[in-house]
Every structure is written in C-alpha cells, then in structure tokens.
Structure 1
Amino acid sequence: MSIASITGIALSGINAQTNRLAAVADNIANADTPDYRRQTVSLASTSDPAGVETTVTSGPEGVDLATEMLELTEAELGYKANAAMFEAGADLWDVLATIKRD
C-alpha cells in the first residue's frame, strides 16, 4: 500500500462522513415536517479505487432526535479518525521529502 493510497482512503472516509453529517442535518431540520422520510446513509467499501462509497436512502416517516444525535456522534468520530489517518499520511510524505533532500 502506498502513501497516496493511505491519503486517498482517508479522504474517501472524510467525504463519507460528510455525507452522513449532511443527512443528519436534513433530518433534524425537517423533524417537524409532515410526511418527511428520514434519510439514512449506508457505507460500503470499494476496492478500485480503495475507499468508502455512500448511498443515501429514505427510511420510514418520522425523525427521532435521539437517533440523530447518535448518528451525529458516530459521524464525528469517523471524521476524526479519517482526518488523523490523512495527517499520518501527510507526515509520511514530509519524512520522505526530508530524506530525499538529505
């Protein structure tokens, strides 16, 4: 696995969590809208290129704010984990650049 792959996978994960956050925001904003169908985001791994793929679907009517807060927390943790992985990849690039200069 290359460093570019690591950062690409991390970026894919960041985008996936951003999609989850957008769905949660829509659900919370429309919690009191009659006949609103809750949006859910499914995550799936991809192999070429490696990363995460998201699919947004409409679920049952009604929004439970406790469920949305749980989704929000999960998305936040996923985002932070992917951001840390991206930073680690960027740090590896810096180390390689330093080695090449010396």
Structure 2
Amino acid sequence: MSEFSKSLDVTTSGLRAQATRLRHLAENISNADTPGYRRKLISFETAFNGGRGVSEVETGPVRLDRSVAERVYDPSHPMADESGYYDGSNVDLMIELGDAREAQRSYEANLKVFEQTRKMSSSLMELLRK
C-alpha cells in the first residue's frame, strides 16, 4: 500500500473522530437547559489497522459526566421536590464552547493534511505521466 493511502487513512479516521466529538458537543450545548441532563464525554483511542498497516484514531465509548448537577430553585417546576428544588444539567457552556473550538481546529488540521496529501499524490501522477 502506498504511503499516500496510509496518510489518507489516518487523516480520515481523525476527521471521523473529530466529527463525532463535535456532534456530542452540540448535543451537550443544546441540552444545557434540560433538567437532569448529564454531559456526554468522549475519548479517543488508537486502533491498529493490521490490514492497512497503520494506526488510526477512533472514538471510545460515550460516558456520562457524573459531576454534581446544579440545584435549581423553582417551586412551580413540575420536577421540583417538596423543598422546591430540582436537578438541572451539569453542562458548562464555557467548557463546551472551548472544547468545540478545539475539536473544530483539530478537524481543520486533519482536513489540511488530507488536502495536502491529495495534492502531493496528484503532483506525483503528473510527474509520472511525463
């Protein structure tokens, strides 16, 4: 297998992993005001693709953040207990936005490597045709 193909495999796996991460971050942000919602966490793992001879990145299992959720006082809320409190979500928008920016930049970096590899491959084909 050519080094170009291996490079494309690695970058493609990085693009998939960051896209999955962005999807979970978007779910967290959209559910920031949902009572009882637990923030989703995702980790990355290295997977060796023996058939291709490369190590790729993949996402691990989705875990729920077990940090303490905010207690909200609203006696009129349907989920409120006898004291008037209910559990809010444990999503911190600043953390989610920071993680989203990091994931976006990682995605863009993988995309640039993908584009550069494609250009190098095209240039090599042009040279071989001459």
State the TM-score, normalized to the length of structure 2.
Answer: 0.74
1:5-84 equivalences under 5 Å are 5-48=6-49, 49-55=54-60, 56-60=62-66, 61=69, 62-84=90-112
The structure with more strand, counted as a fraction of residues: 1
The CA RMSD over aligned residues, in Å, is 1.3
Aligned counterparts of 2:63 and 2:112: Cα–Cα separation in 1 = 29
SS at match of 1:33: coil
Structure having the higher helix fraction is 1
- State, as a whole percentage, how many aligned pairs show the same letter: 34
What is the number of equivalent residue pairs in this alignment?
A: 102
Query: Which consecutive segments of 4 or more residues in structure 1 shift more than 6 A?
Result: none
Structure having the higher Rg: 2
Q: Given the two structures, how large is their TM-score scaled by the length of structure 1?
A: 0.93
Matched residues in 2 for 1:57 and 1:99: separation? 49
Q: How many Å separate the matches in 1 of 2:108 and 2:120?
A: 18
Question: Structure 2 unaligned runs (5+)?
Answer: 70-89
Relative contact order (C-alpha < 8 Å, sep 6+): which is higher?
A: 1
Unaligned 5+ runs, structure 1: none
